[in-house]
């Protein structure tokens, strides 16, 4: 029996699913076992309910997961884009699995955003893009999307047939098992008692455990095994001072060992098997960036580390991101990121200690006082700008001082914007620079901020894709406009340290609007 969910949630979920006539099931780019397991499980389940559905993913799945798609019916946006768009045009329900933010579906994002279909998200990553979906089921404390999906499907079955024990087809069970063993790395992490209960139930449903186990964790090519041996022997570096390890896999080595997408699955975990190593990274050189994969044991948050230093994020102990630096700079950069992460933790602990000792009740009231103070300082700043003849726009507490006027359509909720920006901590004006997409500005600080590729910022405004102050501050701007957008910390990162921004910082962005696309 499951008591995991409120009855209303299951009823709402079933209402959406049962009213869908043409359903599209999607998951994230570079799909792993949990992504592929959850989309195929969903498809089998829908089939058992006589529902038409199609699976679409942004790029191809790794070869070893091919057994989940025996008749090759899964559509891949990179080659089947037109077919997917056509299906979408008549589609009335989209079910998104195993990702939190829509940008995780890459090229597929645009088509999904345009679609008028109802949308459901089922996922176990932090910070889901809630506003976009009609129904979100998100639990970060679940081992895998497949586990979450299992309990949901069982609950639906119980709702529909309260007199019989819940039943799922063996094909559905097989798929769910694949996601379960992938995301727990064969039951070695993120496992709770419910995870084993699910595994036990799946075996009772007739899962062919040995075959699946071999498909997921065996069945490698010879060249993949040789590559692993080579990396462990020649490329794995251990940094005892940080309790960390890493492996760099270059393009040249990928060619030499006939590397295929998915071959490096599990490599990142290898250094963690060494006593004293608690943090591990795998850097994989690709066409225009370096893919970063991070793992940890104990309490070190690689999610924070990925957010702060690797343009990414994920779970507390498994995260990923991207780097845009030459591959030979990676060892130094990794060490700096480790050092700074430990410094942040120490600072956090020290602050916490000070707060506990000195301000036993330093709470929301104190923060409200700080925010009130910031609003006053911002007010003084924008007044002096207005006094020099600048135009001021205030949206929900975010102030925009227009330096150079633009022309054409105004940016409204739902429109897309392309812009250059530089973010500073507000210190009665531009303080410390913490983020920019403009290379010349980044150069001034001497550090390659966030290591980003210097593309335009782009976002759909009013959809929570940007921090609130920026999201709201941009409303009404026109193409060609240059402006300062300034707001108190509650519209920024609030009570969290993020990258170079200490918690409770008011922020100011200089923005240059390049292009606006009306919704
Ligand atoms: Mn997952």
Mean pLDDT on 261-279: 92
Cβ neighbours around 332 below 10 Å, total:
10
Mean pLDDT on 234-250: 97
Ligand 1 centroid–CA 122 distance in Å is 10
Ligand 1 centroid–CA 145 distance in Å is 5
**Mean pLDDT, the chain, integer:** 90
pLDDT tens track for 104-129: 998 899 999 999 999 999 999 888 89
pLDDT (0 to 100) of residue 354 = 65
Residues contacting residue 242 through CB under 8 Å, at least 6 positions apart: 279, 335, 338, 339, 342
Ligand 1 centroid–CA 516 distance in Å is 35
Ligand 1 centroid–CA 363 distance in Å is 35
What is the percentage of the chain residues whose pLDDT exceeds 70? 95
Ligand 1 centroid–CA 486 distance in Å is 37
Structure tokens at 190: 């993120």
> Can you point out the beta strands (E) in 240-361?
244-249, 279-285, 290-296, 313-314, 318-323
Cβ neighbours around 247 below 10 Å, total:
22
**What's the burial of 266, exposed, middle or buried (CB within 10 Å: 0-12/13-18/19+)?**
middle
Report DSSP letters for 6-60, one per residue.
-HHHHHHHHHHHHH-SEEEEE--SS--HHHHHHHHHHHHHHHHTT-EEEEEESSP
pLDDT tens track for 177-224: 999 999 998 998 888 888 999 999 999 999 999 999 999 988 788 999
pLDDT band (50, 70, 90) for residue 248: very high
Report DSSP letters for 339-404, one per residue.
HHHHHHHHHHHHHHHHHHHH-TT--HHHHHHHHHHHHHHHHHHHHHHHHTT-EEEEETTEEEEEEE
User: Phi and psi (nearest 5°) for 483?
Assistant: -155, 160
Structure tokens at 305: 């580390």
3-state secondary structure (DSSP) of residue 424? strand
Mean pLDDT on 1-26: 89
pLDDT (0 to 100) of residue 1 = 41
Ligand 1 centroid–CA 35 distance in Å is 6
Ligand 1 centroid–CA 162 distance in Å is 30
235 within 8 A of 270, measured Cβ to Cβ: no
C-alpha closest to that of 428 among 466, 472, 374: 374
Report DSSP letters for 181-201, one per residue.
HHHTTTTTSS--HHHHHHHHH
Ligand 1 centroid–CA 184 distance in Å is 9
Cβ neighbours around 362 below 10 Å, total:
12
231 within 8 A of 310, measured Cβ to Cβ: no
Q: Is 81 left (phi over 0), alpha (psi -120 to 50) or beta?
A: alpha
Mean pLDDT on 476-497: 93
Ligand 1 centroid–CA 51 distance in Å is 25
- CATH: 3.90.1560.10, 3.10.520.10, 3.90.1150.10, 3.10.50.40. Which one for 365-517? 3.10.50.40
pLDDT (0 to 100) of residue 465 = 83
pLDDT tens track for 418-438: 999 999 999 888 888 888 888
- CATH class for domain 222-345? alpha beta
Q: Is the pLDDT of residue 7 over 70?
A: yes
Would the pTM count as exceeding 0.85?
no
pLDDT (0 to 100) of residue 501 = 83
Ligand 1 centroid–CA 295 distance in Å is 14
Q: What's the distance, CA 286 to chain centroid?
A: 20
3-state secondary structure (DSSP) of residue 241? helix
Q: Is the pLDDT of residue 3 over 80?
A: no
Ligand 1 centroid–CA 281 distance in Å is 18
Ligand 1 centroid–CA 154 distance in Å is 19
Per-domain residue ranges of the chain: 7-217, 222-345, 365-517
pLDDT band (50, 70, 90) for residue 448: low
- Of these ranges, 2-11, 166-175, 237-246, 303-312, the one predicted with the greatest mean pLDDT is 237-246
Ligand 1 centroid–CA 454 distance in Å is 29
Q: Is the pLDDT of residue 453 over 90?
A: no
Ligand 1 centroid–CA 144 distance in Å is 5
Ligand 1 centroid–CA 34 distance in Å is 5
107/61 Cα distance (integer angstroms): 15
pLDDT tens track for 45-73: 999 999 999 999 999 998 889 999 999 99
Q: Is the pLDDT of residue 359 over 60?
A: no
pLDDT band (50, 70, 90) for residue 386: confident
Mean pLDDT on 80-103: 95
Ligand 1 centroid–CA 123 distance in Å is 7
- CATH: 1.10.10.10, 3.90.1640.10, 3.90.280.10, 3.40.50.10710. Which one for 7-217? 3.90.1640.10
Mean pLDDT on 95-111: 93
Among positive and negative, which fits the CA dihedral 387, 389, 393, 399? negative
353/109 Cα distance (integer angstroms): 44
- Which residues have a beta carbon within 5 Å of ligand 1, which is an ion? 34, 98, 145, 183
Structure tokens at 338: 């480790």
């Amino acid at each position: 029996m499951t008591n995991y969910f409120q009855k209303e949630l299951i009823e709402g979920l079933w209402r959406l699913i049962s009213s869908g006539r043409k359903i599209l099931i999607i998951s994230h780019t570079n799909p792993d076992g949990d992504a592929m397991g959850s989309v195929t499980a969903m498809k089998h389940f829908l089939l058992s309910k006589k529902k038409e559905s199609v699976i679409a993913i942004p790029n191809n799945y790794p070869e070893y997961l091919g057994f989940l798609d025996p008749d090759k019916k899964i559509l891949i946006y990179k080659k089947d884009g037109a077919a997917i768009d056509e299906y979408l045009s008549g589609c009335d329900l989209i079910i998104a699995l195993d990702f939190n933010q829509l940008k995780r579906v890459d090229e597929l994002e645009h088509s999904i955003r345009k679609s008028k279909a109802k949308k459901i998200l089922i996922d176990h990553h932090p910070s889901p893009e809630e506003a976009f979906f009609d129904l979100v089921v998100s639990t970060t404390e679940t081992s895998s999307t497949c586990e979450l999906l299992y309990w949901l499907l069982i609950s639906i079955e119980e709702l529909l047939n309260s007199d019989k024990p819940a039943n799922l087809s063996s094909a559905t069970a097989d798929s769910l098992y694949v996601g379960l063993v992938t995301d727990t790395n064969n039951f070695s992490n993120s496992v709770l008692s419910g995870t084993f209960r699910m595994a036990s139930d799946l075996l009772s449903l007739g899962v062919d455990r040995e075959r699946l186990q071999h498909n997921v964790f065996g069945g490698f090519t010879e060249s993949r095994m040789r590559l692993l041996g080579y990396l462990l022997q020649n490329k794995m570096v251990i940094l005892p001072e940080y309790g960390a390890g890493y492996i760099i896999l270059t393009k040249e080595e990928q060619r030499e060992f006939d590397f295929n997408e998915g071959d490096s699955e599990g490599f990142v975990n290898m250094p963690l098997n060494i006593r004293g190593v608690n943090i591990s990274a795998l850097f994989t050189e690709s066409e225009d960036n370096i893919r970063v994969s991070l793992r940890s044991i104990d309490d070190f948050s690689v999610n924070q580390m990925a957010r702060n230093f690797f343009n990414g994020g994920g779970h507390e102990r498994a995260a990923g991101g991207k780097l845009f630096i030459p591959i030979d700079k990676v060892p130094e950069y990794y060490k700096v990121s480790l050092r700074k992460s430990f410094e942040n933790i120490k600072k956090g602990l020290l602050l916490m200690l000070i707060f506990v000792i000195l301000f036993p009740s330093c709470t929301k009231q104190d923060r409200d006082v700080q925010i009130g103070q910031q609003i006053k300082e911002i007010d003084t700043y924008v007044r002096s700008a207005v006094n020099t003849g600048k135009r001021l726009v205030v949206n929900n507490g975010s102030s925009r001082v227009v330096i150079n006027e633009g022309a054409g359509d105004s940016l409204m909720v739902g429109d897309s914007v392309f812009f250059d920006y530089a973010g500073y901590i507000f210190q009665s004006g531009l303080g410390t620079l913490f983020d920019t997409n403009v290379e010349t500005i980044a150069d001034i600080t001497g550090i390659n901020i966030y290591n980003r590729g210097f593309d335009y910022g782009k976002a759909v405004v009013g959809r929570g894709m940007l921090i609130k102050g920026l999201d709201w501050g941009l409303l009404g701007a026109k193409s060609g406009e240059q402006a300062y957008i300034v707001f108190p910390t509650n519209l920024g990162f609030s009570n969290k340290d993020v990258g170079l921004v200490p918690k409770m910082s008011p922020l100011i962005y200089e923005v240059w609007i390049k292009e606006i696309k009306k919704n």
